Amino acid sequence: MNIFSTILTGSIILSLLVLSVSVLLLLYRTIKGPTNPDRAIALDSIGINLIAMAALIAIQLKTTYFNDIILLIGILAFIGTIAIAKFIEKGVIIENDRD
């Protein structure tokens, strides 16, 4: 094991730790968050953090299988945030045009 791989492993773990702390702090915002938009943004950020963590783990495990997940979390976090935002704004997610 050369020095670079040691650095790589160490930085992965360090990054994961930092991200975990970040998730914990975001959780505090989700629970505490005085308004629902606060919570929505916190949840969205948790999603982004998940992308990062998944990517780190993929590097750690030396696999490409998690790439799908990274993309999916991106899409879902986006859709989820849009849905929540729409819900908070209008109270409905899917509008019925014919009404």
Partner 1 sequence: MLHFLIIAPLLFSIFTPILYQNIKRIHTGWMVLLIPISIFVYLLSYLPKIVDHPFHLTFNWLPSLGINYDLYVDGLSILFGLLISGIGSLVVLYSIFYLHKTEKLGHFYTYLLIFMTAMLGIVFSDNVFVFYVFWELTSLSSFLLIGFWNYREKSRYGALKSMLITVLGGLAMFAGFVWMSILTDTSSIREMIENSELITNSPYFIAILILILTGAFTKSAQFPFHIWLPDAMEAPTPVSAYLHSATMVKAGIYLVARLSLIFAGTDEFFIIVSSIGLLTLCWGSYMAVKQTDLKGILAYSTISQLGMIMAMLGFGTGVAVFAAIFHILNHATFKGSLFMVAGIVDHETGTRDIRRLGGLYTLMPITATLAIFGVFSMAGVPLPIFNGFLSKEMFFDATVDLSEEAGTIYQSIGPFIPFIALLGSIFTFVYSMILFFKTFTGKIQLDKLERKPHDPPFGMLLSPIVLVTLIVVIALFPGPFNHYLLTPATSAVMGEVSQTHIKFWHGFYNLPLFMSLTVLVVGIILFLTREKWVRVYNRIPGSWSMNKGYDYILDGLIKGSKLVTTSYMTGSLKNYVRMIIGFMTVVGLYTFIKTDGWAFTFNGATLSIPEIAIAVTMMIAAISVLFISNRIAGILVLGVVGYGLSLLFVFYSAPDLALTQLIVETVTVSLFLLAFYHLPKLKEEKESKTNNFINLVISVSFGIFITLVGLSSHSSKWFDSISSYFVETSYTLGGGNNIVNVILVDMRGLDTMFEISVLGVAALGILALINYKKKGDVE
Residues forming contacts to partner 1 in the complex (CB under 8 A) are 13, 16-17, 19-21, 23-24, 27, 30-31, 33, 36, 39-40, 43, 46-47, 50, 53-54, 57, 61, 63, 65-66, 68-69, 72-73, 76, 79-80, 83-84, 87-88, 91-94
Residues 6+ positions from 43 with CB-CB distance below 8 Å: 26, 30, 80, 81, 84
Minimum Å distance from CB 88 to partner 1?
Answer: 8
Number of neighbouring beta carbons within 10 Å of residue 42:
20
Minimum Å distance from CB 17 to partner 1?
Answer: 6
Cα–Cα distance, 41 to 85 (Å, whole number): 9
